[in-house]
């Protein structure tokens, strides 16, 4: 089953940690973007993570509903079906969920997983992100502990964040924050480990200057050594087995050397959205510009159905997005390393 079981997902993370590589976690919003992600992972022979944001869920549910949880369920169920035809493993994950959205987004998704498990299936999503970085660390951890307990009962991994990723993306806006908020301290990382490790497995989005959105190379000043120092604080006190599974948010515009350095410090997942959005849209624009007289019914003409048929440009968008995601697997060194075995 190419949508990973909880055990397979943990094995994916273990393999990445041991092999010094990470999985691209790509945001999807539609059947076309799901297919682009699956094509990329299959063509690259890389396992990967497909994730849904609250905004993506709202979009997928349609204009009349605009229901983030319902749309996320639709996208996840579609991924379960489509992934069966691909010989790689993918995990389903939800992106940033702030405290005020937990009841309307995360709770219904956990209930959907609970129902699936009762039917003898696996959970709908293999992991969820709770973003408590908008509150102080004490309250963040109190809320994280509650959610991790619920997730652990369902064999679901919880991703948490301490410190804030700057910038704005898909409804997540922390632009204007003071610079010190963009860096997680070793003390923060130690406290997160000590509070959450006894409860269940978690992913940790520690921040080291990363910023959401699109930036020219060199504009984002990362400090990957923050991850190194935080991991050292944890392992010095609790031993090598306490080395944490880290997540890299806001990677667009980052230097490849910085990306690769984070792999040494425990990053096993890197979110990618801005770059794949652009890769999806760019060939659509080219198609429309090159076929403008066929796409538009100008001066009473009938246009050209072959060029205004959405499939004509969405196929190009799917391929372009897949190509960009394949590049991400290469950057993160996950290409050719699927642990899926077709028996």
Catalytic (active-site) positions: 95
> Hey, is 296 helix, strand or coil?
coil
Rounded-to-integer distance, Cα 165 and Cα 173, Å: 9
Tokens of 137: 């660390």
Judge contact between 271 and 95, C-beta under 8 A: yes
Strand order in the sheet with 166-169: 172-173, 166-169, 211-212
Residue with tokens 């910023």, as numbered in its chain? 211
b/e per residue, 108-121, with b = 16+ CB within 10 A? bbbebbeebbeeee
Judge contact between 236 and 189, C-beta under 8 A: no
Judge contact between 254 and 219, C-beta under 8 A: no
The helix or strand, by DSSP H or E, that contains position 83, with its residue range, turns out to be helix 68-83
Tokens of 76: 């996840």
Judge contact between 122 and 3, C-beta under 8 A: yes
HSE toward the beta carbon, residue 196, CA cutoff 13 A:
34
């Amino acid at each position: 089953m190419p949508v990973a079981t909880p055990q397979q997902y943990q094995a994916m993370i273990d393999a990445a940690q041991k092999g010094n590589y990470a999985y691209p976690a790509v945001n999807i919003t539609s059947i076309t973007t799901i297919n682009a992600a699956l094509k990329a992972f299959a063509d690259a022979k890389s396992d990967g993570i497909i994730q849904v944001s609250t905004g993506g869920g709202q979009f997928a549910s349609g204009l009349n509903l605009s229901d983030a949880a319902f749309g996320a369920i639709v996208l996840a169920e579609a991924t379960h079906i489509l992934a069966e035809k691909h010989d790689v493993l993918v995990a389903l994950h939800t992106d940033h969920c702030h405290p005020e959205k937990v009841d309307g987004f995360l709770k219904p998704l956990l209930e959907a997983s609970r129902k699936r498990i009762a039917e003898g299936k696996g959970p709908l999503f293999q992991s969820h992100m709770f973003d408590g970085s908008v509150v102080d660390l004490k309250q963040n951890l109190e809320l994280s502990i509650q959610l991790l307990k619920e997730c652990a009962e369902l064999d679901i991994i919880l991703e948490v964040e301490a410190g804030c990723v700057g910038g704005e993306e898909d409804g997540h806006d922390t632009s204007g924050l003071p610079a010190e908020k963009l860096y997680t301290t070793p003390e923060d990382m130690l406290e997160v480990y000590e509070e959450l490790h006894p409860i269940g497995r978690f992913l940790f989005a520690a921040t080291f200057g990363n910023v959401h959105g699109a930036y020219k190379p060199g504009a984002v000043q990362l400090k990957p050594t923050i991850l190194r120092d935080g991991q050292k604080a944890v392992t010095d006190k609790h031993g090598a087995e306490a080395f944490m599974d880290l997540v890299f948010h806001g990677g667009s515009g980052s230097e490849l050397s910085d990306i690769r350095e984070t792999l040494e410090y425990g990053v096993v997942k890197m979110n990618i959205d801005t770059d794949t959005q652009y890769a999806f849209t760019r060939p659509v624009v080219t198609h429309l510009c090159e076929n403008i007289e066929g796409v538009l019914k100008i001066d009473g003409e009938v246009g050209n159905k072959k060029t205004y048929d959405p499939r004509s440009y969405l196929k190009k968008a799917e391929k372009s997005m897949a190509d960009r995601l394949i590049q991400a697997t290469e950057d993160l060194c996950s290409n050719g390393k699927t642990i899926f075995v077709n028996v």
